[in-house]
Amino acid sequence: MLAGVFEKVGNLALQEREVPTLKSDLDVKIKVLAASICGTDVHILSDPPGHPATPGVIQGHEYVGEVVETGKDVRNVNIGDRVIVDPTTTCGSCHYCQIGRPNLCKNSSTLGIFLDGGWASYSVVPSKNVFKISKEIAPEIAVLAEPLSCVVNGSEKVNVQPGESVVIIGAGPMGQLFTQVLKAAGAAKIICADFSDYRLNYSKLSGATHVLNPKNEDLVKTVKEITKVGADVVIDCVGVLFDQCINLVRSGGQILLVGMNEHAQPQIKQYDLTRNEITVKGTFIQNYDFPKVVKILESNILNLNSLITHKITLDKLEEGIETMRKGEAIKIIVYPL
Ligand SMILES: [Zn+2]
Ligand SMILES: [Zn+2]
């Protein structure tokens, strides 16, 4: 089978690989129906890399497939089922797994980053990482399950109420999904900010009530005008803007930190957090959110079609990654050959 492989620093290679076989009685083999390219994939393939990965691994951690083989102890899915994949493997026995926080597992790994993933025709996955989804949901929609699971996890942490105002900084795929999920949750004012007008146009389709390009207008001033007192919730999907968030949130409001950048060291005025009773929460991947994502996808309450800007076949992966790198895409769907 043809596979998109992280060959070495800065390099993706299309390689012929053997179709993988089950390694345990709890594994399932899936025929990949669709995959997508995540911002993390672009970071992995940058030189120097912005995210670690194992050389030689088949990339792609966002994918959906059909079960074609099951180990003899698999109980949750059957051959022929369509499944979405949670790419994070966890140990089940460390402190964090035992207290119900497997997203913080100390022995976790990730399919498509450290283990073979979904940029290929077939993938072998532990059965606890697959979730059955209706065949009425198109593969290119179901493939958004993984980023959506992270957004559901973050949204639960801030618990946005009907009528509340939200500022979402960064209008990439995560910013778009937060916009859609919080719109569905009843947020009345959703203000999206990004330096790219291209991305902000998609924010409008996702349900933003206001889009702001800080190149053209003062973010703090405009948010104050729209919300009067500052936003109830501010979400940083970029990963370097914690200090900015403090200027945008109202007293007693919440800041959710989603984006990740190891090198960011914003200057924080601690006094402001204390004096204004601002709650700050970090959120990392997902925690038992896949069953909720299945419900969301099967209910068709989001406008996910609007986020799919490109559809390519696996042999065009490199062009797809280049398009992502240039910021000229929201979601690129990849079909195996
Ligand atoms: Zn991702
Ligand atoms: Zn663990």
Are both 123 and 159 inside the same structural domain?
A: no
Buried b vs exposed e over 249-275: b needs ≥16 C-beta within 10 Å?
bbeebbbbbbbbeeeeeeeeeeeeeee
Say if 295 falls within a structural domain: no
Say if 169 falls within a structural domain: yes
Q: How far is the CA of 11 from the centre of ligand 1 (A)?
A: 18
Ligand lying closest to the C-alpha of residue 96: 2
Are both 311 and 196 inside the same structural domain?
A: no
CATH code of the domain containing 245: 3.40.50.720
pLDDT surpassing 90 at residue 329: yes
Ligand lying closest to the C-alpha of residue 331: 1
Buried b vs exposed e over 150-162: b needs ≥16 C-beta within 10 Å?
bbbbbbbebebee
Spatial distance between the Cα atoms of 191 and 177, rounded to a whole number of angstroms: 14
Q: Characterize the bridge pairing of strands 109-110 and 279-282.
A: unpaired
Residue whose structure tokens are 């778009």: 176
Q: How far is the CA of 92 from the centre of ligand 2 (A)?
A: 5
Measuring CA to CA, which residue among 106, 124, 150 is closest to residue 283?
150
pLDDT score for 285: 97
Give the pLDDT band of residue 222 (cuts 50, 70, 90).
very high
- And the tokens for 301? 């309450």
Say if 292 falls within a structural domain: no
Give the pLDDT band of residue 263 (cuts 50, 70, 90).
confident
Percent of the chain at pLDDT exceeding 90: 98
User: Could you tell me the residue range of the domain that residue 204 belongs to?
Assistant: 149-282
247 vs 142, 230, 253, CA distance in Å? 37, 8, 11
First to last CA, the chain: 8
Q: Which residues pair with 3 in a beta bridge?
A: 15
Give the three-class secondary structure for 302. Answer: coil
Q: How far is the CA of 96 from the centre of ligand 2 (A)?
A: 6
Q: What is the mean pLDDT of residues 194-219?
A: 97
Measuring CA to CA, which residue among 231, 182, 225 is closest to residue 203?
182
Are both 176 and 155 inside the same structural domain?
A: yes
Ligand lying closest to the C-alpha of residue 59: 1
Are both 10 and 107 inside the same structural domain?
A: yes
Q: How far is the CA of 36 from the centre of ligand 1 (A)?
A: 9
Spatial distance between the Cα atoms of 208 and 222, rounded to a whole number of angstroms: 15
Threshold 0.95, pTM exceeds: yes
Q: How far is the CA of 147 from the centre of ligand 1 (A)?
A: 6
Are both 6 and 130 inside the same structural domain?
A: yes
Evaluate whether 27 touches 124 at the Cβ level (below 8 Å): yes
Give the pLDDT band of residue 262 (cuts 50, 70, 90).
confident
Strands (E), 258-325: 279-282, 308-313
Q: How far is the CA of 110 from the centre of ligand 2 (A)?
A: 13
Give the pLDDT band of residue 24 (cuts 50, 70, 90).
very high
Q: How far is the CA of 102 from the centre of ligand 2 (A)?
A: 6
pLDDT score for 156: 97
